[in-house]
């Protein structure tokens, strides 16, 4: 009898020490060149979305989530083909990316067109009408400006990241650059600090029309074999809702201003 009680006690101790279900390993991919939202600093993933997602994932004990930053086009392709589970931060484009399940909206971004000072010598407040005939830069794999290019209003020219596009404007290789306002302003500042953009030597860059307000999401794959997908998405969405309501997300963004 004593042995039976002792055995039962030891079993309960083992159950308490080791969870019955190990946390599911998950990798979520992000843009490696989208400061201040997500970017690589050495081997470390940094940025507003990275900080938000780390906090969110820490509140999901059933999952052990790794954030891996890669070029945006690769992140998109991984999820499109079902080789990757999720990526961030796509805008809501169900027609362009029907293979994505969009999460709860995470963060609002203001998309603005930045142009050389000579292009904005006269005000151009209306997008896209005031920008007809101009060559506008965008990041590879981004959806921004595609509709206007297909309509023949602008010519769209892609480059790898924010730095490359800002330098192209500064060197008068393109007229304007279309991206998130905070991301472009921080890129200009970092290029100035690095001596790669020098006022007086390069063309001045001014802020033009606000194109749209967009929310970033985590996009989850409809392809591939991820039996935990529905549970993960539901728990992630609920966590993001709670973080928005508590002011956690707002506090993280404030730290970057």
For 22-106+217-254, CATH number out of 3.20.20.120, 3.30.1330.20, 3.40.190.10, 3.40.50.300 equals 3.40.190.10
Assigned architecture for domain 110-213 = 3-Layer(aba) Sandwich (3.40)
Are the C-beta atoms of 179 and 219 separated by less than 8 Å?
A: no
Per residue in 178-236, pLDDT (tens digit) is: 999 999 999 999 999 999 999 999 999 999 999 999 999 999 999 999 999 999 999 99
What was the pLDDT predicted at 111?
Answer: 93
What average pLDDT does the chain have?
Answer: 92
Query: What is the total residue count of the chain?
Result: 257
pLDDT, residue 52, reads 99
Domain boundaries of the chain, sorted by first residue = 22-106+217-254, 110-213
CA distance to 12, 14, 104, 112, per residue, from 9 (Å) = 5, 9, 44, 65
- For 224, half-sphere exposure in the C-beta direction (CA atoms, 13 angstrom radius) is 19
Residues of the chain with pLDDT under 70: 1-21
Of 246, 244, 98, 116, residue with least CA distance to 176: 116
Q: How far apart are CA 144 and CA 219, in angstroms?
A: 17
Buried b (16+ CB within 10 A) or exposed e, 229-255: beebbebbbebbeebbeeebbeebbee
Domains 22-106+217-254 and 110-213 share a fold: yes
């Amino acid at each position: 009898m004593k042995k039976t009680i002792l055995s039962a006690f030891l079993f309960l101790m083992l159950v308490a020490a080791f969870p019955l279900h190990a946390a599911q390993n998950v990798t979520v991919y992000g843009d490696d060149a989208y400061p201040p939202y997500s970017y690589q600093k050495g081997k470390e993933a940094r940025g507003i979305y990275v900080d938000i997602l780390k906090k969110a994932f820490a509140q999901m004990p059933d999952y052990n989530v790794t954030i891996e930053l890669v070029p945006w086009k690769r992140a998109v392709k991984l999820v499109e083909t079902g080789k990757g589970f999720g990526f961030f931060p796509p805008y809501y484009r169900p027609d362009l990316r029907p293979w994505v399940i969009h999460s709860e909206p995470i963060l609002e971004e203001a998309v603005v067109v930045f142009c050389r000072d000579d292009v904005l010598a006269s005000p151009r407040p209306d997008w896209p009408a005031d920008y007809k005939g101009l060559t506008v830069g965008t990041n590879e794999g981004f959806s921004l400006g595609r509709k206007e290019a297909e309509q023949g209003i602008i010519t769209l020219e892609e480059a790898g990241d924010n730095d490359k596009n800002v330098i192209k404007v500064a060197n008068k290789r393109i007229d304007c650059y279309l991206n998130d306002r905070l991301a472009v302003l921080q890129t200009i500042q970092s290029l100035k600090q690095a001596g790669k953009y020098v006022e007086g030597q390069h063309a001045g860059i001014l802020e033009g029309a606000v194109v749209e307000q967009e929310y970033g999401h985590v996009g989850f794959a409809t392809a591939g074999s991820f039996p935990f997908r529905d549970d993960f998405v539901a728990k992630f969405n609920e966590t993001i809702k709670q973080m928005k309501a508590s002011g956690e997300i707002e506090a993280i963004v404030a730290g970057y201003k």
